[in-house]
Amino acid sequence: MTRYVLYGGKGGVGKTTCAAATALSYAEDGRPTLVVSTDPAHSLSDAFDVEIGPEPTRVLEGAELWAVEVDPGERIGRYRGQVSAALEELEDLGITLDDDDLDDVLEAGVAPGTDEAAAMDLFVDYMDDPRFDRIVFDTAPTGHTLRLLKLPDVMESAMGKLIAVRSQVSTLAESVRGFLGTGGDEGDDGESPELDLTALQRRMERVGAALRDPERTEFRVVLVPETMALLESERLLSELDAYGIPVGRAVINKVLEDPSPDCARCQARHEGQRERIEAAGSRLGRPVTVVPELRDEARGIDALRTVAGRLETEPTG
């Protein structure tokens, strides 16, 4: 059993429900578990019917089940000023980055306002938290998730460029100060904590290694039994393979089971879904778990236990 499980797929397919149900199952099996939402449209609070914030919150008495809806704003602030200051130093000294290098830095997520970078940085905190034996991630819709998973590699490279640039700027600045006789620490009030770019680079290395390790990580693709969802899932799997992310099962959610024999429309829908489920097994090349469409909204512990029961069954294919 892997330590990290990530659920991904297009919006509205039930990733949050699956993540919450899996976390509940682990916790009730005696494994301290944290479920993390990196989706900007957080809905873990709705799934558990409990208010959840930006710090791990216990959501079930009698079981070690915790949840957190990531707020990357604070973490972004830690390095926003550092990057801005580094670029300003370059301009002041008449030094410019090569266009390609600058693009790498900005696209890496170290530019102000990039939520994914902060979420990846927080990943290490949760990895190292001794309270949790299992961590389940409810990721954002497909495009955001792919940026998130690609980020450790890009940030690691960009951090290396920034570290090299900072070293060059620091050396040149010291030379200029010595020449002008203005050495010392004037202007440094010591109140702005400096981000250790080397440490951040190492954190990204650890995240990247964990995400690619099939002994620790399993990505599960969630979809509904519709043709467009199947096509998008095929594209997602192709991207995940390219990034080296280990993918386990595909979860086909919201499946109509036992349709009324008196409802011709229900029977037709059921037959169409059955055909697409069979197609998914061969086209996705992954074991498939089927989760039924619930009569009511998948909200609260009882509903999540129902979903967890199906997720625990052995996938087919």
Encode pLDDT of 52-87 as tens digits. Answer: 988 899 998 889 999 998 766 555 555 555 555 655
Single out the residue of 252, 305, 218 nearest to residue 24, CA to CA. 305
106-110, 229-233, 255-259: the lowest-pLDDT one: 106-110
List pLDDT tens digits, range 232-266: 999 999 989 988 899 999 999 999 998 999 999 99
Higher pLDDT, 127 or 28: 28
pLDDT in tens, 93-104: 555 555 555 555
Hey, is 72 helix, strand or coil?
coil
Q: Which segment of 33-42, 109-118, 247-256, 267-276 scores lowest on mean pLDDT?
A: 109-118
Measured distance CA(30)–CA(124) in Å, rounded: 23
Written as six digits, the tokens of 12 are 């509205």
pLDDT at 115 (0 to 100): 55
Sorted by where each begins, the domain ranges of the chain are 4-72+118-143+214-311
- Look at residue 209 in the predicted model and tell me its pLDDT: 87
Backbone angles phi, psi at 100, to 5 degrees: -65, -40
Higher pLDDT, 14 or 87: 14
Q: Which of 3.40.50.300, 3.10.20.740, 1.10.3720.10, 3.20.20.70 would CATH assign to domain 4-72+118-143+214-311?
A: 3.40.50.300
The pLDDT, as a whole number, for residue 110 is 44
Give pLDDT, residue 303: 92
The Cα 8–Cα 165 span in angstroms is 36
CA distances from 113 to 81, 83, 94, 97, 119 (A): 12, 12, 26, 21, 12
Crossing angle for the helix pair 142-180 and 73-92, to the nearest 10 degrees: 40
| Lookup: tokens for 160 | 């290396």
Q: Read off the tokens for 128.
A: 């190292």
* Whole-angstrom Cα Rg for the chain: 23
For residue 197, what pLDDT band results from cuts at 50, 70 and 90? low
Query: Tens of pLDDT along 163-179?
Result: 666 665 555 545 544 44
Per-residue confidence band for 316, with pLDDT thresholds at 50, 70 and 90: confident
DSSP three-state, residue 67:
strand
Single-letter amino acid, residue 107: E
Indicate the pTM of the whole model: 0.77
Of the candidates 250, 228, 226, the one whose C-alpha atom is nearest the C-alpha of residue 237 is 250
Q: Is 33 within 8 Å of 64 (Cβ atoms)?
A: yes
In angstroms, the CA 179 to CA 256 distance is: 78
Tokens of 183: 């050495």
Proportion of the chain above pLDDT 70, given as a percent: 65
Sign of the CA dihedral running 67, 122, 249, 227:
positive
3-class DSSP state of 229: helix
3-class SS at 23? helix
Whether residue 108 is predicted with pLDDT greater than 90 in this model: the reply is no
H or E element that contains 267: helix 264-284
Strand-by-strand arrangement of the 247-255 sheet:
57-60, 65-69, 33-37, 134-138, 4-8, 217-223, 247-255, 288-292
Of these ranges, 82-86, 103-107, 198-202, the one predicted with the greatest mean pLDDT is: 198-202
3-state secondary structure of 34: strand
